[in-house]
Structure 1
Amino acid sequence: MADNMPTLHKDLLAIARKARLTSAVNDVDSMIAQLLAARESIAAERDPHAASLILTKLQNPIKEGLETVNNDLKAVSKTQKEFGKALDRSFPVTPIPTEYDVMQKHPALINRAIVMHLLREGHFDVARVFMDEARDMASMSAGSDPDNRIGEDDGDAARVMDASLADSHETTNVTASESDTLQGKFQRLYSILHDIKTHNLGPAIEWSRDHAEALEERGSNLEFDLCKLQFIWLAKSRSHELLPEQFAPTTTHDGDVGGGAGTAAEDVRDGMRAALGYARDNFDRFRERHPAEMERLAAALVFASNMSESPYASVFETTTAFEDLAAAFTREFCSLLGLSAESPLYVATTAGTIALPRLIKFIGATRSKRTEWTSANEMAFETPLPASMTYHSIFVCPVSKEQTTRENPPMRLPCGHVLANDSLHNLVKGLKFKCPYCPAEGQMRDAQQIYF
């Protein structure tokens, strides 16, 4: 398909040369100008018969203008159809195999993924309508059951098409009230993200402190990163207007009350005072976990007047700091809800779109050769997914040349080499085994399962 892109690009350029909607818009503007001029002429005339004369003269120009607009639109429509045919030639419609749909028996899971995606994206009203309509469809399915009973999957769909991970990290179906609770949490997430992107870190810091214990259990540095950026932003502020209201200095260096911007030196000192005051009030709790970073921040203030040329320029670089911290905040916020940072529906759809062309090609090849892939838990080919979608490391046993699975996990030998569990058992003689890659020997009890 990539080979067809140059041809399609030429066809697209041809559309721009042949016809554009711009000509139709210009012709419509011309007719509007004629109508406005006629209205002004009628308003300026005192003779009541002048209006009919002006309108009579206007009929032919307007009629010709409408015909010109129609011709313009026909030309655009024609070129669009030609380009559509070019698309069809370059990307022929290939029927997707539907002999076996693994998700056909799990409509509740599909609906739940859709609702969760809508909630995560902030489309709360759409999510509510979808849930209501899904329940209605489940009720209709139950009514058509000859035994007047709801089947297992229909029951799942009828309860809720949405799920949340509870504190116990177990997936549960949620009620409408629980969905409203989840909606409220995502609304707060979007509100905090908006504040972060507008350089207001107060709400995010408040949230991180409210959840400090849970974040610490995860080993997260979110609270310190937020406070660190707040410190840097205060230190880099060059005028009182840039400082958050609660940190803006109330007096100048001479002791006078200051409200407006002073000299550059005064502004730097104001920013340093605000940063130092913030550090004294907030950094004490981080002394044990982040002493080195706190020392770097303190030392950097010595170069506040010429930070860009100092050894600490990278520390005070904030070009992408707020965007990066917003992404980190989203990850931690979702993790405390038991959710992934990205929508599973988005990830699955994107990965499926990438893999689908190769899958269709493979199925077509196996059908033409009347063969089929017999491994139920493996794909017959590699799918070139981006690094952001590689969530689990893959280990191939160097002895059997097979990929490890849950039933056949990787095992670490005492010498440090790693083999698949089945390969290791094949090497055992009595109670001992010899590593196939070094002279070391060991016993089965010395081998440990490893996790990637």
Structure 2
Amino acid sequence: MEMDSLPNGTAASPGPTLGPAPTAAGPPPSSKLSHLADSLKLEHQFLRVPFEYYKKTIRANHRVVEKEISAVINGVSEAADKNDMSSDDAVNHLSSLVSRLQGLKRKLEEGSKTEHLQAQRCRARLDHLESADVESLSEWNNTRVNRILVDYMLRMSYYDTAVKLAESRNIQDLVDIDVFQEAKKVIEALQNKDVGPALAWCAENKSRLKKSKSKFEFQLRLQEFIELVRAENNFIAITYARKYLAPWGTTHMKELQRVFVTVAYKSTTECATYKVLFEPKQWDYLVDQFKQEFCKLYGMTLEPLLNIYLQAGLSALKTPYCYDDDCTKEDPLSQEGFRKLALPLPYSKQHHSKLVCYITKELMDTENPPQVLPNGYVYSSKALEEMARKNDGKITCPRTGFICNYTDLVKAYIS
């Protein structure tokens, strides 16, 4: 937003000018500065996600290096301990170690490029936040709206649409498409009733999930056991339980006992306690649980940012009247989608009452003052004048059917 510059002197004064008139720009309004500061406070996730992804890549590369170096050192030690190794065997053994080191070098080069790109992304986001100022606030807010829309699309699994929007607005470095692509593989596998990718994800993030006391891996193991029981592979199911479920016995014994009973009841049971374990909705539950764990891992909000921003606005509009059947259509909360979003929100605190006409649903104020009928009901002047014009000066109360003349009305004053 450009600020109008003020001339330093009188524009109409005669005489030659020695140079361009100096200008003085006034300070930006304090309200805009406050709005900008509040906007930046909401950008925690914007920086946290790429940073967590960056750290995860570094840890993964570090594990690869440790594994490969350890294997090479063990290989050298084995070769050194063998006194009867022929020269050909020694050459072949050393060649395999060299090949392994060359493979490690290629992995490190690829890992270094990935780390560099992710570091650039973190830098790009810092630069984006630093570029926010009062003068370019409108453009900066437009970019933020696009980021929020991309975030919502990714969470709702509209990946292709999210990618196209990010590319069209040139904000690829400001959104987390690659992070959500990782989640996409796990979600699609769970929707196809395959826990393999989800278990691999748990193994990859085992330490952090353990620190947060996550039960997600346990729930996956239970579901895999249930699927074995469904297929009537009871012997394999019992072997699986001994290997993968027994370690959870100290902390989840009641849940294990309930699941183990399914071996006797089978998938055709009508017992409600065990029948629910075989229902398809258990897979939907796993998808929802994975999304929650995924968001926690990367420091994301559990709700989409779009929902959070909409709820912030709706919290200022929500009143008991919004849920009435005759709520005005101009009110966003007259729509079912917004009502659902606002359901957990408290009613807004209104310091001043607002009078809305029962007939027109329009606000009654000084330009459209309220008028009182002899029976005590109040309607707007606009509605009553229209009614009197159509009915030869007669007014009919829409609530009680009471009829009176327009001249019988009394004007009310809002204090």
Do the two structures share a fold, i.e. TM-score over 0.5?
Answer: no
Larger RCO: 1 or 2 (CA < 8 Å, sep 6+) = 2
